[in-house]
Structure 1
């Protein structure tokens, strides 16, 4: 085994290279976002014009179809009673009917082409919208990394002088970052993105419904679309809350947990009982954040994977420790088996190890799960 030692200058150089690389990546993502946004705006303008053209063409097609029927009826009458009409009148009736058929065929072909172009633009706009959202999310995530690299991580050089420790620390940051991106991506895709896509599809139907079934039906569709937009807004606010609840800074751990668990119960329709023991005092910020995240992860695991019909959360704050119990009556699992979706428990274990705390999981198939957490409150906190 080869031992390699680095001094602070070498670590500073490594960090500087990391910052430069991340900064360059951020700029590239910003450029992609701006290009996509510009293309989105251009296509939106074109789509508005195409929709107007489609409407006008459909109206023209309807008129031509009516005129063409009348012309054919006139031609049939002239042909049947040709002795009553002059040769000039017969020829004019035929030429008019023929010309209207040509005009109607051309207009319908144009209508078809415009509709195909409109559908293509709408598909491209949806893809561009997702690209812009992903790019904006990446910019936000990269900004967090840059702030971390240029702030707290720079101060930690004196504790990270050997290459192995540095590498492991960097890998943990990357793994946590990637997991958070995956979680956000899934939540956005399954929630607001799907709802907004449905809103766009429903909006396309309103014009047709108003024309075919009347304004009352169209207004009903608009009300339904408004409900979908409100649900999408709720999902976005939920994601923002999950990222960092502002109440944690203002009110402290216990009031924030009460709000979070009440919202989670309402959203998932799973009863959650919350019990707080001890004084509701403010703890050091890093401990409040850590304890909140532990409860959040434990409850989310129970909601998503346990199929529980009841969840109990108990928090006890003493002078020297913070204790948490999360219990559900779900399907349970074998803690000794490595599960495919065990990232939540792994994250809890790593967070508790950093806090020098203890984690105990009591579970078995068909017998629910109980998670017990004990985190010390040290004087240097």
Structure 2
């Protein structure tokens, strides 16, 4: 249905309500992040105390173990020469050995409890860290939405002929955020959370196997446990890369892309991904590196998930005044002339490129793969200024 006339005041009222809702959501998420930050600090301090207590217990246990060996040796001497000692001396030796053994048993039990508490704290800190990172990411996303709502979207009535498209697009942004939250929640629940639960059960099983079947089978189970922990660590790293690679700020775009493409190739294990960098790689302003990383990430994931590609090529070409990014795959391709009603991934990519004052072109045919070409200007002076600041 085409709408030729619409009430711009009513549209502005809708936008005001959307901005209030999104602004309140941003405040709530920020408060959640602050609460998690406080909890993280408290648990970190407690973890340090527990680690110190564990070390103390281990040292005390080692001393008691040495004393226990000496007491057993003393008992052996008394048993051999029983007639040479008085009843009081014999009783004293036995009581001392018993007391040392009791102290050692209590020490081991306390050490076990402290280790369990330490592991629990470390798991909770990992969860809090992920929540904090996610909250920061969501706050950043909502800030972008608020800026968009308060500036460009207010003038959309002058640009768009169809008001319904504008409303749908605004709503889709919020829906995309909710979907992103659900996706991350599912990934954490189905991935690292399940794996860590299995690790806990397997660790209990190892203790039982050690007692009942011996060292060799216990070592075999420990090797399986290490593999499970390694898989869980891989899943966590994959989720972190999806949120924001930490290496992006430290190493820059090119090394981070290399690592990301290796990770995504191993994760999907269904296609070969080649990375080519031409020209002299430069550090770009942070907003450029983040946007370009997301653009490549979106293009590669589209190729892997939707195009069923077996080969993907990512090429960066640094020139004096601009950077060209090409992502080419041999997947199913699609007809670019047909507009899909829910193709908001492509809309988001165009938005990112426009914010960088660049150009995006798409070349694809059904059955012939897809090629995404992105060109953005490189302004060295502004880049240097930004890094200086």
**TM-score class normalised by the smaller sequence:** 0.5 to 0.7
Q: Does residue 235 of structure 1 match 2:245?
A: yes
Aligned to 2:173: 173
Task: Report how far residue 298 of structure 1 moved.
Answer: 4.5
How far apart, in 2, do the equivalents of 1:345 and 1:2 lie? 20
The number of residue pairs the alignment matches comes to 289
Distance 1:74 1:333, change over 3 A: same
How far apart, in 2, do the equivalents of 1:125 and 1:43 lie? 7
Aligned to 1:348: 346
- Alignment map for 1:109-128 (pairs within 5 Å): 109-128=109-128
Aligned to 2:265: none
Aligned to 1:306: 309
Q: Does residue 9 of structure 1 match 2:19?
A: no
Asked whether the equivalents of residues 36 and 128 of structure 2 are also in contact (C-alpha less than 8 Å), the reply is yes
**Alignment TM-score, normalising by the size of structure 2:** 0.57
Aligned to 2:134: 134
Task: Report how far residue 104 of structure 1 moved.
Answer: 1.0
Task: Report how far residue 73 of structure 1 moved.
Answer: 1.7
**Alignment TM-score, normalising by the size of structure 1:** 0.59
RMSD of the alignment, in Å?
A: 5.1
How far apart, in 2, do the equivalents of 1:292 and 1:83 lie? 84
Asked whether the equivalents of residues 78 and 90 of structure 1 are also in contact (C-alpha less than 8 Å), the reply is yes
Distance 1:296 1:275, change over 3 A: farther
How far apart, in 2, do the equivalents of 1:372 and 1:18 lie? 33
Asked whether the equivalents of residues 327 and 371 of structure 2 are also in contact (C-alpha less than 8 Å), the reply is yes
How far apart, in 2, do the equivalents of 1:235 and 1:303 lie? 20
Asked whether the equivalents of residues 6 and 162 of structure 1 are also in contact (C-alpha less than 8 Å), the reply is no
How far apart, in 2, do the equivalents of 1:160 and 1:60 lie? 75
Aligned to 1:152: 152
Corresponding residue SS for 2:112: helix
Asked whether the equivalents of residues 245 and 256 of structure 2 are also in contact (C-alpha less than 8 Å), the reply is no
Larger radius of gyration: 1
How far apart, in 1, do the equivalents of 2:43 and 2:8 lie? 52
Distance 1:88 1:179, change over 3 A: closer
Asked whether the equivalents of residues 8 and 158 of structure 1 are also in contact (C-alpha less than 8 Å), the reply is no
How far apart, in 1, do the equivalents of 2:180 and 2:274 lie? 27
How far apart, in 2, do the equivalents of 1:2 and 1:158 lie? 16
CA deviation map 1:349-377 (0-9, x unaligned): 7877999x98552353xxx62548899xx
Listed as ranges, the gaps of 5+ residues in structure 1 are: 198-227, 246-258, 277-288, 315-322, 337-341, 376-381
Task: Report how far residue 89 of structure 1 moved.
Answer: 1.2
Distance 1:45 1:373, change over 3 A: closer
Asked whether the equivalents of residues 3 and 163 of structure 2 are also in contact (C-alpha less than 8 Å), the reply is no
- Alignment map for 1:230-309 (pairs within 5 Å): 235-238=245-248, 264=257, 268=261, 270-271=273-274, 297-298=298-299, 301-302=302-303, 305-308=308-311
CA deviation map 1:163-191 (0-9, x unaligned): 524422323433555677789x59x98xx
Aligned to 1:44: 44
Asked whether the equivalents of residues 57 and 107 of structure 1 are also in contact (C-alpha less than 8 Å), the reply is yes
How far apart, in 1, do the equivalents of 2:257 and 2:309 lie? 15
How far apart, in 2, do the equivalents of 1:63 and 1:173 lie? 63
CA deviation map 1:191-243 (0-9, x unaligned): xx99xx9xxxxxxxxxxxxxxxxxxxxxxxxxxxxxx9xx99993244899xx
CA deviation map 1:5-34 (0-9, x unaligned): 652322222121111111111111111111
How far apart, in 1, do the equivalents of 2:157 and 2:181 lie? 27
Task: Report how far residue 111 of structure 1 moved.
Answer: 0.9
Corresponding residue SS for 2:167: helix
Listed as ranges, the gaps of 5+ residues in structure 2 are: 197-233, 263-272, 280-289, 318-323, 355-359, 376-389
